[in-house]
Structure 1
Amino acid sequence: MSIRAGFAEIDITPPVGVHKIGWLKVIVSDHVLDPLFARAGVFEAGGERIGFIQFDTLFVPADMVAEVRRRISAEHGFDGANVMVSATHNHAGPALDDVGLVKRDD
């Protein structure tokens, strides 16, 4: 059985001035030290596909995970339940959800 694989990476670094999350206080970014990425890998074998997506964020909100899985299913024709979405747990990254003291920057 052969295995096919594909990988992608995209820069998701927000602009300077967005709220950072993870410090239990309000902090606004004033510079970018390193870029933030979303990285993905998809593997196919025996007619089945699985995918992994990782964001350089503190966490990924459940509604965002559901939307990512829905889009993958609609646009790429495989079961969104076969996609694992995770975060690197970056405390200096942007807020993706309204949690605690920090509001996400839309």
Structure 2
Amino acid sequence: MGGLGKNQPPEAEGTASRSFRTSATVQLNASGSSDPDGDTLRYRWSFSSVPADSATAIDDSTSELTSFTADKSGTYQVKLTVRDGLAADAVLLPDIVVKTLDDNDPIPWITSP
């Protein structure tokens, strides 16, 4: 527990929708992030890695809620950094795996984390 006048770092918490088809929109959500001091938070989304030849970009990399288009099959690693003006916390979201599916292929469903 921080002492009087000592800033505590924010806690980053991000989620992403799951996508299984290329050209799908993947939603990113940092609304679970918090700051123990009640400070205003600033967000920064970035990719740690994307599939080869991907030209995707995060639509608004400084928004609490944003998205990107999965333009290639493969694994996308997304990082969320949350700042309160004095300190930062970062979290790497679970891998987002995107696959090219034929029209007749079944779409897998996630039933639990």
Work out whether the TM-score is over 0.5: no
What's the TM-score, normalizing by structure 1? 0.30
Which has the larger helix fraction? 1
